[in-house]
Amino acid sequence: MSANVAEELPELHFAGGLPGFPDVRRFVLVRLGDEHSPFSVLRSLDDGPDIAPAVEFVVTHPSLFFPDYEPEIDDDIAARLELKSADDALLLVIVTVADPVAASTANLLGPIVVNRHTRAAAQAVLGNSGYATREALVPHR
Protein backbone atom coordinates (compact mmCIF):
# COMPACT_ATOMS: atom_id res chain seq x y z
CA MET A 1 0.00 0.00 0.00
CA SER A 2 2.72 2.46 0.91
CA ALA A 3 3.87 2.62 -2.71
CA ASN A 4 0.58 4.25 -3.63
CA VAL A 5 0.72 7.01 -1.05
CA ALA A 6 3.20 8.90 -3.22
CA GLU A 7 0.54 10.78 -5.08
CA GLU A 8 -1.62 12.38 -2.45
CA LEU A 9 -4.35 14.72 -3.46
CA PRO A 10 -5.46 17.51 -1.16
CA GLU A 11 -7.40 16.70 1.91
CA LEU A 12 -11.15 16.14 1.78
CA HIS A 13 -13.28 17.36 4.64
CA PHE A 14 -16.52 15.62 5.60
CA ALA A 15 -18.07 18.08 8.06
CA GLY A 16 -20.77 15.58 9.03
CA GLY A 17 -18.63 12.44 8.97
CA LEU A 18 -20.02 9.40 7.15
CA PRO A 19 -22.90 7.15 8.22
CA GLY A 20 -21.33 4.57 10.54
CA PHE A 21 -18.25 6.78 10.97
CA PRO A 22 -19.60 10.07 12.32
CA ASP A 23 -16.31 11.16 13.91
CA VAL A 24 -14.06 10.66 10.91
CA ARG A 25 -13.95 13.95 9.04
CA ARG A 26 -10.58 14.44 7.36
CA PHE A 27 -9.48 12.16 4.51
CA VAL A 28 -6.86 12.10 1.80
CA LEU A 29 -7.50 10.58 -1.60
CA VAL A 30 -4.66 8.37 -2.77
CA ARG A 31 -4.44 6.51 -6.08
CA LEU A 32 -4.56 2.74 -5.76
CA GLY A 33 -2.25 0.97 -8.19
CA ASP A 34 -0.73 2.34 -11.40
CA GLU A 35 -1.92 5.26 -13.51
CA HIS A 36 -4.44 3.05 -15.33
CA SER A 37 -6.14 1.97 -12.14
CA PRO A 38 -9.70 3.26 -11.85
CA PHE A 39 -9.53 3.04 -8.06
CA SER A 40 -8.38 5.34 -5.28
CA VAL A 41 -8.26 4.97 -1.54
CA LEU A 42 -9.98 7.44 0.74
CA ARG A 43 -7.92 7.28 3.91
CA SER A 44 -8.85 8.95 7.17
CA LEU A 45 -6.47 11.36 8.85
CA ASP A 46 -8.29 11.66 12.16
CA ASP A 47 -6.86 9.19 14.57
CA GLY A 48 -8.36 9.24 18.00
CA PRO A 49 -8.88 6.51 20.57
CA ASP A 50 -12.14 5.46 18.90
CA ILE A 51 -11.00 5.39 15.31
CA ALA A 52 -7.46 4.07 15.34
CA PRO A 53 -6.20 2.61 13.07
CA ALA A 54 -7.11 4.80 10.12
CA VAL A 55 -10.27 3.97 8.19
CA GLU A 56 -9.91 3.37 4.46
CA PHE A 57 -12.46 3.15 1.70
CA VAL A 58 -11.81 2.15 -1.89
CA VAL A 59 -13.54 4.58 -4.23
CA THR A 60 -13.96 4.93 -7.98
CA HIS A 61 -15.51 7.31 -10.49
CA PRO A 62 -19.00 5.93 -11.09
CA SER A 63 -18.95 7.04 -14.75
CA LEU A 64 -16.29 4.38 -15.48
CA PHE A 65 -18.39 1.43 -14.35
CA PHE A 66 -21.91 2.85 -14.44
CA PRO A 67 -22.15 5.17 -17.47
CA ASP A 68 -25.91 5.57 -16.98
CA TYR A 69 -25.65 6.57 -13.33
CA GLU A 70 -27.14 10.01 -12.82
CA PRO A 71 -27.90 10.61 -9.18
CA GLU A 72 -29.90 13.67 -8.24
CA ILE A 73 -28.05 15.61 -5.59
CA ASP A 74 -30.51 17.37 -3.32
CA ASP A 75 -30.46 21.09 -2.56
CA ASP A 76 -29.38 20.54 1.04
CA ILE A 77 -26.14 18.85 0.05
CA ALA A 78 -25.55 21.38 -2.72
CA ALA A 79 -25.98 24.19 -0.19
CA ARG A 80 -23.89 22.53 2.49
CA LEU A 81 -21.02 21.96 0.06
CA GLU A 82 -21.59 25.38 -1.59
CA LEU A 83 -21.99 23.84 -5.03
CA LYS A 84 -23.03 26.51 -7.50
CA SER A 85 -23.16 24.35 -10.60
CA ALA A 86 -22.92 20.67 -11.48
CA ASP A 87 -19.34 21.32 -12.67
CA ASP A 88 -18.27 22.14 -9.12
CA ALA A 89 -19.07 18.60 -8.00
CA LEU A 90 -16.89 15.52 -8.19
CA LEU A 91 -18.75 12.28 -7.69
CA LEU A 92 -17.20 9.13 -6.23
CA VAL A 93 -18.69 5.84 -5.10
CA ILE A 94 -17.45 3.54 -2.35
CA VAL A 95 -16.44 0.04 -3.44
CA THR A 96 -16.97 -3.01 -1.25
CA VAL A 97 -14.06 -5.27 -2.18
CA ALA A 98 -15.10 -8.92 -2.45
CA ASP A 99 -13.28 -12.20 -2.88
CA PRO A 100 -12.91 -12.75 -5.82
CA VAL A 101 -12.46 -9.07 -6.68
CA ALA A 102 -14.64 -9.48 -9.79
CA ALA A 103 -17.58 -9.82 -7.38
CA SER A 104 -16.86 -6.42 -5.84
CA THR A 105 -19.72 -3.96 -5.63
CA ALA A 106 -20.21 -0.20 -5.54
CA ASN A 107 -22.52 1.79 -3.30
CA LEU A 108 -24.71 3.78 -5.67
CA LEU A 109 -27.26 4.63 -2.95
CA GLY A 110 -24.75 6.75 -1.08
CA PRO A 111 -22.39 8.50 -3.50
CA ILE A 112 -19.69 10.81 -2.17
CA VAL A 113 -20.03 14.34 -3.42
CA VAL A 114 -16.97 16.62 -3.33
CA ASN A 115 -16.72 20.32 -4.07
CA ARG A 116 -13.65 20.32 -6.35
CA HIS A 117 -12.70 23.83 -5.33
CA THR A 118 -13.13 23.76 -1.54
CA ARG A 119 -12.67 19.97 -1.03
CA ALA A 120 -15.74 19.94 1.19
CA ALA A 121 -17.35 16.50 0.90
CA ALA A 122 -20.43 14.60 2.04
CA GLN A 123 -22.00 11.22 1.45
CA ALA A 124 -25.41 11.74 -0.12
CA VAL A 125 -28.31 9.50 0.80
CA LEU A 126 -30.46 8.85 -2.26
CA GLY A 127 -33.66 7.63 -0.64
CA ASN A 128 -36.32 6.52 -3.16
CA SER A 129 -33.78 6.53 -5.99
CA GLY A 130 -33.93 2.82 -6.73
CA TYR A 131 -30.13 2.61 -6.40
CA ALA A 132 -28.63 -0.03 -4.12
CA THR A 133 -25.64 -0.14 -1.79
CA ARG A 134 -24.25 -3.18 -3.63
CA GLU A 135 -24.33 -2.87 -7.38
CA ALA A 136 -21.98 -5.24 -9.20
CA LEU A 137 -18.94 -3.51 -10.71
CA VAL A 138 -18.59 -6.24 -13.30
CA PRO A 139 -21.94 -7.22 -14.84
CA HIS A 140 -22.91 -10.86 -14.46
CA ARG A 141 -22.78 -12.83 -17.64
Binding site for other proteins (CB under 8 A): 1, 15-16, 18-21, 32-34, 36-39, 41, 53-58, 64-65, 67, 76, 79-80, 94-102, 104, 107, 109-110, 123, 125, 127, 133-134, 137-139
What are the angstrom distances between the C-alpha of 105 and each of 65, 97, 140? Answer: 10, 7, 12
- Nearest-approach distance from CB 49 to other proteins, in angstroms: 17
Q: How far is the CB of 116 from other proteins (least distance, A)?
A: 20
Min separation Cβ 86 and other proteins, Å = 19
